[in-house]
């Protein structure tokens, strides 16, 4: 008796319909198509048949094999699809999706320049000293040799607050008083970097907040030559060894004599004319010898001690270095600007 192929096919189809998942399908496949599977066994029966029936049986068997294989593959594909749909619906995280790249941050260009400046002054022996941003009339003006109603106060447009006497510092110079009073009678060599505030109209050239770096050196026998040497060394390290430095006389109430410092700008720079307004020179800071009144206010004896001070604006210097034409970019936090540095 040979196998009833039609019955085998029927049974295989029925069992296939009951396979609920991929594992069941695979075991169905083993049961019927494995080496010892029912199809293999059925095919062996061909030898028991009379010779004239073998051909028909063989053809029949091949057809059954083919249709069952097809049915199995369709069922397998459907089951895989179903499993994926189920897992997508059930699980919130699909670990097979490509990840989102993490964007690397970087230092703000103002921070970078500030670090460059403090590093240069550190090499010249200046410690960095932090000083408060909220001052009062006494420290921002009076102790810096600007009594009330002194016209020089007009040089600084001041933010007053609702607390009487409390103002936002208009420059880093009040830090001079704090350092002197803390360290007197020791010699001093510090820089005081930090934010300043002025009640100004905001334009491409002026902002209501900006950074300054104040410098202060106090000791015995400190002269204008020390000031010039220090500033020249600083300017050449920041802008290049070939820079020329020019000192112009100027006026600040808290220094005497007072100067303003320019550097020459390379004439081959296409921006040179615009930056220097055709003069070839660029102002980078105000400076001078500490006024005797200020020395005394800090606790030092002007007959014994002397010193120099300077104040520079890092934003201005950064604008020069990178040809930035709008100071408002510094605190606008526009990534298109920040990513350039
Ligand atoms: N404080 C001055 C300013 O804001 C700069 C300055 C500092 C000048 C120290 C002389 C000495 O303009």
- Please report the atom of ligand 1 found closest to the CA of residue 172: 1
H runs (alpha helix) in the chain:
5-18, 22-33, 38-44, 51-90, 109-123, 137-140, 174-183, 224-239, 272-275, 292-297, 314-322, 335-338
Which of 172, 251, 286 has most ligand 1 atoms within 8 Å of CB, for mutation?
Answer: 286
Q: What is the average pLDDT across 254-281?
A: 86
Which of 141, 154, 197, 254 has most ligand 1 atoms within 8 Å of CB, for mutation?
Answer: 254
Kindly report, residue by residue over 116-148, the tens digit of the pLDDT.
999 999 999 999 999 999 999 999 999 999 998
pLDDT tier at 307, thresholds 50, 70, 90: very high
**Ligand 1 centroid to residue 325 C-alpha, Å:** 23
Using CA atoms, how far apart are residues 35 and 29, in angstroms rounded to an integer? 11
Contact 3, 11 (CB under 8 A): no
Kindly report, residue by residue over 207-258, the tens digit of the pLDDT.
999 999 999 999 999 999 999 999 999 999 998 899 899 999 999 999 999 9
Using CA atoms, how far apart are residues 291 and 282, in angstroms rounded to an integer? 26
Q: Which residue, by CA, sits nearest to atom 9 of ligand 1?
A: 310
Radius of gyration of the chain (CA): 43
**Ligand 1 centroid to residue 313 C-alpha, Å:** 10
Contact 43, 61 (CB under 8 A): yes
Close Cβ partners of 105 (under 8 Å, ≥ 6 residues apart): none
Using CA atoms, how far apart are residues 43 and 38, in angstroms rounded to an integer? 9
Residue-by-residue DSSP string for 156-195: S---B-SSTTEEE-SSSTHHHHHHHHHHTTS-EEEEEEEE
Pick the closest to residue 341 from 118, 104, 102, 108 (CA basis). 108
Question: DSSP class of residue 48?
Answer: G
Using CA atoms, how far apart are residues 215 and 296, in angstroms rounded to an integer? 18
Question: DSSP class of residue 38?
Answer: H
Whether the predicted pLDDT of 94 surpasses 80: no
pLDDT tier at 153, thresholds 50, 70, 90: confident
Q: Which residue, by CA, sits nearest to atom 6 of ligand 1?
A: 311
**What does pLDDT average to over the chain?**
91
| Half-sphere exposure (Cβ direction) of 281: Cα atoms closer than 13 Å | 12
Pick the closest to residue 231 from 260, 267, 265, 194 (CA basis). 260
Ligand 1 is surrounded, with C-beta below 6 A, by 171, 173, 214, 252, 255, 286-288, 309-311
Buried b (16+ CB within 10 A) or exposed e, 30-49: eebbeeebebeebbeeeeee
Confidence (pLDDT) at 97:
82
Buried b (16+ CB within 10 A) or exposed e, 119-154: ebbeeeebeebebeeebbbebbbbbbbbeeeeeebe
Whether the predicted pLDDT of 309 surpasses 90: yes
Residue with tokens 């006024």: 291
Q: For residue 296, give both structure tokens.
A: 């005394």
Cis peptide before 217 (omega within 30 of 0): no
Confidence (pLDDT) at 198:
94
Q: For residue 146, give both structure tokens.
A: 């600007």
Q: How far is CA 177 from CA 144, 172, 214, 278, 330, in A?
A: 8, 10, 12, 38, 29
Residue-by-residue DSSP string for 308-339: EEEEE-HHHHHHHHHT---GGGGGT--HHHHT
The least confident of 89-98, 108-117, 248-257 is: 89-98
**Ligand 1 centroid to residue 171 C-alpha, Å:** 7
Kindly report, residue by residue over 39-79, the tens digit of the pLDDT.
888 888 777 888 888 888 888 888 999 999 999 999 999 99
- Please report the atom of ligand 1 found closest to the CA of residue 212: 4
The least confident of 85-94, 160-169, 330-339 is: 85-94
In degrees, rounded to 5, the angle at the alpha carbon of residue 302 between the alpha carbons of residues 212 and 251 is 45
Q: Which residue, by CA, sits nearest to atom 5 of ligand 1?
A: 311
pLDDT tier at 2, thresholds 50, 70, 90: low
Q: Residue 127 phi/psi, 5° resolution?
A: -80, 155
Confidence (pLDDT) at 51:
84
Q: The whole model's pTM is what?
A: 0.71
């Amino acid at each position: 008796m040979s196998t009833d192929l039609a019955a085998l096919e029927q049974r295989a189809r029925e069992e296939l319909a009951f396979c609920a998942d991929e594992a069941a399908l695979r075991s169905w496949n083993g049961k019927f198509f494995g080496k010892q599977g029912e199809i293999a066994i059925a095919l062996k029966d061909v030898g028991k048949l009379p010779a004239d029936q073998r051909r028909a049986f063989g053809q029949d068997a091949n057809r059954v094999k083919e249709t069952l294989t097809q049915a199995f593959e369709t069922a397998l594909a459907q089951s895989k699809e179903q499993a994926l749909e189920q897992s997508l619906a059930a699980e919130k995280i699909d670990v097979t999706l490509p990840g989102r790249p993490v964007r690397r941050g970087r230092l703000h260009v103002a921070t970078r320049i500030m670090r460059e400046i403090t590093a240069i002054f550190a090499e010249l022996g200046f410690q960095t000293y932090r000083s408060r941003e909220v001052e009062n009339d006494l420290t921002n003006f009076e102790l810096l040799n600007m009594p009330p109603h002194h016209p020089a106060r007009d040089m600084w447009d001041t933010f007053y607050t609702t607390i009487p006497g409390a103002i936002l510092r208009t420059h880093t110079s009040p830090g001079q008083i704090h350092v002197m009073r803390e360290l007197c009678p020791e010699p001093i060599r510090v820089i005081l970097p930090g934010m300043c505030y002025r009640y100004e109209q905001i334009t491409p050239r002026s902002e209501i907040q900006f950074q300054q770096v104040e410098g202060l050196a106090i000791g015995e026998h400190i002269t204008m030559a020390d000031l010039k040497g220090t500033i020249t060394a600083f300017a050449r390290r920041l802008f290049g060894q070939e820079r020329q430095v020019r000192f112009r006389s100027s006026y600040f109430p808290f220094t005497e004599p007072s100067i303003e410092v320019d550097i020459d700008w390379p004439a081959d720079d296409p921006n040179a004319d615009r930056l220097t307004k055709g003069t070839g020179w660029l102002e980078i800071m105000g400076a001078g010898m500490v006024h005797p009144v200020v020395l005394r206010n800090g606790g030092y004896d002007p007959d014994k001690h002397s010193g120099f001070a300077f104040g520079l604006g890092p934003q201005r210097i950064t604008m020069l270095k990178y040809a930035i034409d709008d100071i408002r970019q510094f605190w606008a936090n526009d990534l298109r600007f920040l990513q350039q540095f």
